[in-house]
Structure 1
Amino acid sequence: MTPPNIPPASERLRRIQSLKESALGLVCTQSFPAIIGTADMMLKSAGVTLIGYEKTGSGFCTAVVRGRIADVRLAVEMGAETAEKFGELVSAVVIPRPLPNLEAVLPIGTRLAELALENSQSRLSNLAVGLLETRGFPAMVGAADAMLKSADVQLAAYETTGAGLCTAIIRGSVADVAIAVEIGMQEAERIGELHAVMVIPRPLDDLEATLPTAACWIEQKPDPLPILLSIPVKEEEKELVELERTEVQPLALPAQAPEPDLLELPDLQKLPKRLEEL
């Protein structure tokens, strides 16, 4: 009889088989746009699942994929080549058959895997992604403003990865995103330092689930917030305001006078005698 704490043999065999066939793939770049482009190439080159990204400061970003060992090896190889073409490759590794303890401690475990495996249809699936990274927040804000004014695109989010690197993320048609990124590059170079750019024409759903733009889409412009101004008030106006704020006390009405008693009618029998006396 199998002890209650030990799963059946078939379940144990299935778990062992899944561990033998699975692997983790990690590719690190020193730019957020570069890691997005690298992750896109990894997804399109092999049947892997994008678990998420890990940002460790100074601009270093790592894409983590999961799948069969052969698929992960191919994806990491293609991702490393892509990152090297961008001139942003830092390191890459394939970890076959990772133990559960590794995934439980590192931020690449079940929580991110479930998020990536939802496969929900995003309303942004048919829109291109444009990423523009600068060193310095003012340059990123200026570039984002120029991109929004130059084409029909939406600013969906921005990312910071340390070392002063900031990335503006826009969405729109391929043509609009390409025009906006080109204008944004010129504005970023005018204000500060342009670090990296990336345009992804058709992002996969798996990439959508991990981008900060996946759940951010403004349908209507929010109402502007009211601006409170401190306007100097004259002394007379202050007294008037204080008077208006003073609670009005009800007037004390005088007590009502008692109702007069009813007049007593004279006795009709005694009336003749009284008339004679008069």
Structure 2
Amino acid sequence: MRYYGEEALGLIETTGMVPAIYGADQMLKAANVELISYENIGSTLVTIFVKGDVAAVKASVEAGAAAAKEIGPLTAQNVMPRPISAVGDIVSVHDVDAQVDATEDLPRSKALGMVETFGIVYALEAADAMVKAADVDLLGYENTASGYISILVSGDVGAVQAAVEAGVSAVKEMGVDPHSSCVIPTPHPALSKITSQYALDKLLP
């Protein structure tokens, strides 16, 4: 949706995609806000944008920032109560609704699991281990740039948990630690506006 600065703007920014998605889920669940934009800035930075009334946006940003910091680096957070319209124009460049088909919502019944590594070699090992370990679907992958790669899977909570554990273990067996990982048991439906951008059927030529 086009954002005109008519409501308060809340932002969190992280290193890597997985902390950003995890934070976004908590932002949307913590208060009555709406996901408006998502930007993979480059150089590993990812930003989530929400809008709503000032109190709701403040609560949302606090919750999202705290969640993101649990699993990865949070580089910035901010609440802009009354941004100028030109700021709204900049935010609208990254409008999530313009990127996806609104009918492609991720069902609430399916958990979301993610593992993020530095380098595709480790990411592919994680993906292989995740799908072999449990009955999960490989949703896709994201290259955040500067070497950070995320693998996304979905399925029942138990299966996703087992898959993420297997992916993390596989990477560690190669002698490194994943950048971040998480399981979201009941992802907010709006997250699909971000995750569906990285579905393999969309990425393949």
1:211 is aligned to 2:198? no
Contact 1:116 1:206 in 2 (8 A): no
CA shift, 1:214, in A, is: 8.2
Counterpart Cα distance in 2 of 1:154 and 1:143: 14
For structure 2, which runs of at least 5 residues remain unmatched after alignment?
Answer: none
Secondary structure in 1 matching 2:145: coil
For structure 1, which runs of at least 5 residues remain unmatched after alignment?
Answer: 1-15, 219-278
1:186 is aligned to 2:165? no
Counterpart Cα distance in 1 of 2:99 and 2:129: 33
1:76-127 deviation per Cα after TM superposition (whole angstroms, max 9, x unaligned): 11112222333411111111222222222x2x21771644998646253321
**Partner residue, 1:71:** 56
Out of 203-212 and 148-157, give the one that drifted further. 203-212
TM-score, normalised with respect to structure 2: 0.86
Secondary structure in 1 matching 2:105: coil
1:161-210 deviation per Cα after TM superposition (whole angstroms, max 9, x unaligned): 12211000011110000001111111112235311101101111111222
Counterpart Cα distance in 1 of 2:94 and 2:18: 24
- Greater relative contact order: 1 or 2 (C-alpha under 8 angstroms, separation 6 or more)? 2
Q: Cα–Cα, structure 1 residues 192 and 158, in superposed 2: closer, same or farther, change >3 Å? A: farther
Q: Cα–Cα, structure 1 residues 45 and 215, in superposed 2: closer, same or farther, change >3 Å? A: same
TM-score, normalised with respect to structure 1: 0.64
- Structure 1 residue aligned with 2:26, among 20, 41, 54? 41
Secondary structure in 2 matching 1:126: coil
Counterpart Cα distance in 1 of 2:32 and 2:73: 24
Counterpart Cα distance in 2 of 1:138 and 1:114: 32
- Structure 1 residue aligned with 2:134, among 151, 157, 166? 151
Counterpart Cα distance in 2 of 1:137 and 1:191: 13
- Structure 2 residue aligned with 1:102, among 87, 97, 121? 87
Counterpart Cα distance in 2 of 1:154 and 1:31: 22
Contact 2:11 2:77 in 1 (8 A): yes
Secondary structure in 1 matching 2:50: strand
Counterpart Cα distance in 1 of 2:192 and 2:112: 10
Q: Give the residue type in structure 2 aligned to 1:64.
A: F
Contact 2:18 2:115 in 1 (8 A): yes
